[in-house]
Amino acid sequence: MIKFIDFLNILLPFFYVITFGIYSYDFMKGKKELANSKRLFLFITLLFHAIYLITRTIYFGHPPITNVFEIFTVLAFAVSFSYFVLELVTDIRGTGPFIIIISILFQIISTIEIEHIVAVKDVLKSNLLGVHVFSALVGYSGITISAVYGFLYLMLYKEIKLNQFGLIFNRLPSLEILEKLSFSSAIIGFVLLTIAIIIGIIWLPQAFPDFSYADPKLIGTSIVWILYGIGILSKLLGKWRGKKVVILSIVGFIIAILSTMLTNFLSLSFHSFY
């Protein structure tokens, strides 16, 4: 089974790159005939990724959430899976390459660095940890997608304002739709991050003796959470719209990424498992 897991681990980046290639080709050429085949290819990629995650969980006896590179592969899956659901629900197909490229980055890093860890600390086998990490990851994929749509919104806004009617103008959905997609993803991300934070605040002090409220990850996530909270509230109250909200979403995403990198690579906190 381990050989199969290794084989899938190497195969997954190729699957994502090929899917990205098909989505990008379709974006550049705008050919109608690829509209369904690219979706099918994304589905196949996700299917193989799901098989990889399941076999890994069975073989190692714990879900792949115990170190940053395991988390990266789950994040790669979560981002593309969220996009797949979004594409099915909204039938907006022109934005795939911008999302899938994020999965490629996460998956390549994970494929190169991931190790076979059988023995993990008991604390990391807790079900509450599973819920905490799962909601945090889906929350992060929500804000990732929100930031990508926010970025696309800004690009299209600029093109339209400057009378540059190029590929972005021709292929992307309307500004209003991009804004809605960015906002809906932000809400999903915010709700799930809230759940992750609540579980974290209740459970982490009991589980980790070295728990500290000054933990950089905790501070980073809290800042992200507050930023998104302000943005969502302002938008709902009708005070902010368009550019302001999407810029906030992008800033939130950058802070989230920075805090993750700082926490995990500089090994400054209990949140760093690797």
The site for other proteins (CB under 8 A) is made up of 156, 160-161, 163, 165, 169, 172-177, 180, 238, 241-243
Phi-psi label, residue 208: left if phi above 0, alpha if psi -120 to 50, beta otherwise:
beta
Q: How far apart are CA 79 and CA 105, in angstroms?
A: 11
| Nearer CB in complex with other proteins: 93/180 | 180
CB of 160 to other proteins, least distance (A): 6
Q: Are 52 and 9 in contact (CB under 8 A)?
A: yes
Helix, strand, coil % over all residues of the chain, rounded to 5? 80, 0, 20
Please say which residue, 170 or 212, places its beta carbon nearer to other proteins: 170
Measured from the CB of residue 177, what is the shortest distance to other proteins in angstroms? 5
Kindly tell me which of 3 and 161 has the beta carbon lying closer to other proteins. Answer: 161
Q: Which is nearer to other proteins, 127 or 163 (CB)?
A: 163
Q: Which two tokens stand for residue 26?
A: 């379709």
Q: Which residue has the tokens 């379709």?
A: 26
Least separation in angstroms between CB 175 and other proteins: 5
Task: Give the whole-angstrom CA distance, residue 144 versus residue 15.
Answer: 21
CA neighbours closer than 13 Å in the CB half-sphere of residue 219: 11
Do 30 and 171 form a contact (C-beta atoms < 8 A)?
A: yes
Nearest-approach distance from CB 261 to other proteins, in angstroms: 33
Nearer to other proteins, 90 or 194 (CB): 90
Contact 217, 271 (CB under 8 A): yes
Q: How far is the CB of 82 from other proteins (least distance, A)?
A: 21
Q: What angle do CA 69, 63, 87 make, to 5 degrees?
A: 75
Q: Which residue in this structure is represented by tokens 């994970």?
A: 110
Nearer to other proteins, 105 or 171 (CB): 171
Q: How far is the CB of 165 from other proteins (least distance, A)?
A: 5
Nearer to other proteins among residue 177 and residue 255 (C-beta): 177
User: Tokens 């909601």 label which residue?
Assistant: 135
State the nearest-atom distance from the C-beta of 180 to other proteins, in Å.
Answer: 8
- State the Cα–Cα distance between residues 38 and 15, nearest whole angstrom: 12
Q: Phi and psi for 31 in degrees, rounded to 5?
A: -80, 130
Least separation in angstroms between residue 166's CB and other proteins is: 9
Give whichever of 159 and 229 is closer to other proteins, judged by the CB atom.
159
